[in-house]
Amino acid sequence: MNEWLLHDLKGDNGPNRQKEANLFLDWLLRQCDIFVFVKGSPWAKKAYELMKLTDPTCRLLSKKLWSLLGDLKKRRYLRLEELQPIPKECQQVVNPDDEYLVRALITANAHGIITTDEKLREALSTCNIPVIMREDFLSQCKSL
C-alpha cells in the first residue's frame, strides 16, 4: 500500500479517515496474511516519523502500526536492494517515486497495491498490476 495509511493515521486527512485507519489496522492484525514493509522506502521513513509525534491519538495508532510491523507472522521485511526490477511495460508509465511499490509487490508475490492515487491506479492497470482503491478496499474490510 502506498502512503495514504500513514497520512490517515497522522490525521492529515481528517478525524474520520483517522478512525477508518485505526479500524483498518485492527483488520490487518486480525485478517491480513502478510504485510510487506520495505526498509529505507519513503513509506518506511514516514512510518518512523509517525513514531515521533506527540499527539496522544497518533502515538496510540503508531504503536498499533508497529505492533503489526513487529509481528513475524504478519509482516515481511524487504530491503530496497533486494527488490525485483520493475517490468519494462511499467517503466514508462509508473512515477519513479512509486516504483518501489511495484517492485515490492513483485518481489513479495503480493496480491495488490492499495492506493488513493488515481494516476497510479491508471498506470498500473496498463501493465496488469493489481490495484485497489482505498475506499473500495476499506468497504470490503467492513464486510469481512
14-38 pLDDT tens trace = 999 999 999 888 888 887 777 888 9
Grid coordinates belonging to 124: 498500473
Which CATH number does the domain housing residue 93 bear?
3.40.50
Q: Is residue 129 part of a domain?
A: yes
73 within some domain: yes
Residue 144 falls within a domain, yes or no?
A: no
Q: Which residue has the cell 506527540?
A: 54
Please tell me the total count of domains within the chain.
Answer: 1
> 67-96: per-residue pLDDT in tens?
888 888 888 899 999 999 998 989 999 999
Instruction: Give the global pTM.
Output: 0.85
Note down the domain range covering 60.
4-139
CA dist 49 and 38 (Å) reads 15
How far apart are alpha carbons 67 and 65 in whole angstroms? 5
Does the residue 86 lie in any domain?
yes
Residue 103 lies in a domain: yes
Nearest-angstrom CA–CA distance, 143 and 7:
24
Residue-level pLDDT at 143: 64
Considering the domain boundaries, does residue 59 fall inside one?
Answer: yes
